[in-house]
C-alpha cells in the first residue's frame, strides 16, 4: 500500500498534476487562442500552488510572489500574446490550426512516453527537505519534457512560443516546490526574465509573420533567392 502524504502535500500534488494535464491540453489544442487560455489557467494554478505552499510552510513572501506571478502570467502575458497574434481580419492567425506533425492521439501517446522519462529522472533526485516534494518535482520534470514535446510536434511559431512560456511555468513549479524559501528578490528576477522572453518571442513572431504571411515554420524550409 502507498500511504498518502497528508492534506497540504496532497493538495500541492493535485495542483501540480492539474498543471501537467493542462500542458497536455495545450499539446492537443488546435487553436492558439485556446492554447493561450490554457496557459493562463496553468499560470493561475501555479499562483494557487504558491498560496498553498505559503500557508503550509508559513512563508509570507510567497503570497506576494503569487500575486505578482498572477498579475504577470495570468493577465499581462496572455493579453500581450493575444494582441501579437491578432491579424487584421481574424483573431486566429493562419498556419496554426493543423500544424501537427502527429495526430493528436499519437502526440498524446508519444508525450506520455516523454512525461514518463521526465517524471522518473526528476523523481530519482533524493531530496531531504522538511517536506520532501518528490512527487511535485517529478511532475515538474514531466512538464518540462511535455513542453519540449509540444514545441517539437507543432510546427508553427505561435504554439512554440506558448510551449516555451509553459516551459517557464514548469521551471517555476520545480523552483517553488524545491526552494520555496528562496529570497523574493531572486524569484521576482526570474519572473521578469519571462518578460524579456515574451518581448523576444513577440518580435520573432512578428518578423516571421511579416515575411511568410503565416505562422507556420514549414515555409522556412524553402530557399528564397
Partner 1 sequence: MSAALPIPVIQLLQVLTVALGAPAITGVIAKVEARLQGRRGPRVLQPYYDLYKLCRKEALAPEQASWFFLAAPVIAVAAYLTIPLLIPVLTTYGLPLGYMGDILGGGFLLSLASFVVATAALETGSPYAQLGSSRAKTFSAITEPVVLFVVFTVALLTGTDLPYALAATVRSSAGQVIRPAHLLASAALFMVILHETGRIPVETHTGTNEFGMIEEARSFEHSGPYFALLKWGSELKQLILFTILADVFVVPWGLASSQRLGAVALAIVALLAKATAVGCVVAVIDNSFAKLRLFKITEYVSAAFLLAVLGVFTLYRGGG
| Binding residues vs partner 1 (CB under 8 A) | 1-7, 9-11, 13-14, 16-17, 20-21, 24, 28, 103-105, 108-109, 112, 115-116, 119-120, 123, 132-136, 138-139, 142
- Report the nearest approach of partner 1 to the CB of residue 148 (Å): 17
Specify the residue, 15 or 72, whose C-beta has the smaller distance to partner 1: 15
- The secondary structure of the chain as a DSSP string is -PPP--HHHHHHHHHHHHHHHHHHHHHH-SSHHHHHHHHHHHHHHHHHHHHHHHHHHT-THHHHHHHHHIIIIIIIHHHHHHHHH--SS-SS-TT-TT-BSS-HHHHHHHHHHHHHHHHHHHHT-----TT--HHHHHHHHHHHHHHHHHHHHB-BHHHHHHHHHHHHHHHHHHHHHH-TTS-HHHHHHHHHHHHHHHHHHHHHHHHHHHHHSSSBGGGGGS---
- Report the nearest approach of partner 1 to the CB of residue 66 (Å): 20
Specify the residue, 22 or 167, whose C-beta has the smaller distance to partner 1: 22
- Report the nearest approach of partner 1 to the CB of residue 15 (Å): 9
Specify the residue, 119 or 201, whose C-beta has the smaller distance to partner 1: 119
- Report the nearest approach of partner 1 to the CB of residue 115 (Å): 7
Amino acid at each position: 500500500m502507498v500511504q498518502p502524504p497528508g492534506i497540504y502535500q496532497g493538495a500541492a500534488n493535485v495542483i501540480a498534476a492539474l498543471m501537467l494535464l493542462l500542458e497536455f491540453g495545450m499539446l492537443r489544442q488546435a487553436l492558439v487562442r485556446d492554447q493561450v487560455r490554457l496557459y493562463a489557467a496553468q499560470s493561475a494554478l501555479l499562483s494557487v500552488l504558491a498560496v498553498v505552499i505559503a500557508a503550509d510552510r508559513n512563508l509570507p513572501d510567497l503570497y506576494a510572489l503569487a500575486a505578482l506571478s498572477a498579475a504577470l502570467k495570468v493577465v499581462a502575458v496572455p493579453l500581450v500574446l493575444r494582441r501579437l497574434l491578432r491579424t487584421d481580419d481574424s483573431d486566429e492567425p493562419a498556419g496554426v490550426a493543423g500544424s501537427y506533425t502527429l495526430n493528436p492521439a499519437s502526440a498524446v501517446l508519444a508525450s506520455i512516453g516523454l512525461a514518463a522519462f521526465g517524471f522518473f529522472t526528476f523523481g530519482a533526485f533524493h531530496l531531504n527537505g522538511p517536506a520532501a516534494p518528490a512527487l511535485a518535482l517529478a511532475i515538474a520534470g514531466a512538464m518540462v519534457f511535455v513542453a519540449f514535446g509540444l514545441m517539437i510536434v507543432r510546427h508553427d511559431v505561435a504554439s512554440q512560443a506558448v510551449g516555451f512560456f509553459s516551459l517557464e511555468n514548469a521551471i517555476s513549479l520545480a523552483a517553488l516546490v524545491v526552494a520555496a524559501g528562496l529570497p523574493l528578490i531572486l524569484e521576482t528576477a526570474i519572473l521578469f526574465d519571462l518578460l524579456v522572453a515574451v518581448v523576444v518571442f513577440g518580435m520573432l513572431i512578428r518578423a516571421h509573420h511579416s515575411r511568410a504571411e503565416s505562422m507556420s515554420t514549414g515555409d522556412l524550409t524553402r530557399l528564397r533567392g
